[in-house]
Structure 1
Amino acid sequence: MKLNIDFWEVISFMLSFAGLMFAAGKLLLSQIEKRLNERFEALEIARRESESGWSRLEREFFEFRADLPLNYVRREDYLRGQAVIEAKLDALYSKIELLQRGSY
């Protein structure tokens, strides 16, 4: 059994194979591009949600900072207030002591 193939038949087979490979490659690349676009869209949606979450967190933090002086006293302010109260109590004690000495 002898197989005879002409030169033009070999060329046509090679060209059709190259065309088939080109079409398959193009189809594969279009599928890859489609998947990449879907992933980028998902990433963009996640970024927007994250951004809105961060802005919400930032707003809550600023509200907390605004309410902080109303609910809490700084250590220095507390010590200053205590010093004032103790000074007033000492002055009151001195006056009471002077009154007691004067009555004896």
Structure 2
Amino acid sequence: MRIEVEFWGLVGLLITFMGFVFGVAKMFFAQLEKRQIEQFSSLDASLREFTTNLNTLEREFLEFKADLPIHYVRREDYVRGQTVIEAKLDAVYNKLELVQQHRLAGGKNG
């Protein structure tokens, strides 16, 4: 059994096969481009959401920094305030001690 194919028939068959391969490749690259576009859109949406969240976080941080001096006292300021209060308490204690000594001495004016 022999199959005979003419040259132009073979060329036609080859051109048809090449057209089919070209069509499949074109469809493959179209799908690949579609997926890339979807991925870039998703990435762009994620980037926009991240930027929005970052701006919100930065705004909240700046508000926190503005409210910080109102709600909190620095350690040095607290120590300074406590020192003043303790000095005043010591002065009151000394005056009370003088009053007690004056009463013990008989209440005489000096």
TM-score by length of 1: 0.88
Deviates more, 1:71-80 or 1:81-90: 71-80
Residue in 2 that maps onto 1:102: 102
**Shift of residue 96, structure 1, vs aligned partner:** 2.5
Residue in 1 that maps onto 2:50: 50
**Shift of residue 38, structure 1, vs aligned partner:** 1.2
**Shift of residue 101, structure 1, vs aligned partner:** 2.6
Q: Deviations over 1:77-98 (max 9, x none)?
A: 1111111100111122222322
Q: Deviations over 1:45-83 (max 9, x none)?
A: 111011101111111111112111111222221111111
**Shift of residue 22, structure 1, vs aligned partner:** 0.9
TM-score by length of 2: 0.84
**Shift of residue 33, structure 1, vs aligned partner:** 0.2
Q: Which runs of 5+ in 1 are unaligned?
A: none
Residue in 1 that maps onto 2:4: 4
SS in 2 for 1:55: helix
Residue in 2 that maps onto 1:13: 13
Residue in 1 that maps onto 2:108: none
CA root-mean-square deviation: 1.5
Q: Which structure would you say has the larger Rg?
A: 2
Residue in 2 that maps onto 1:77: 77
Count residues with an aligned counterpart: 104
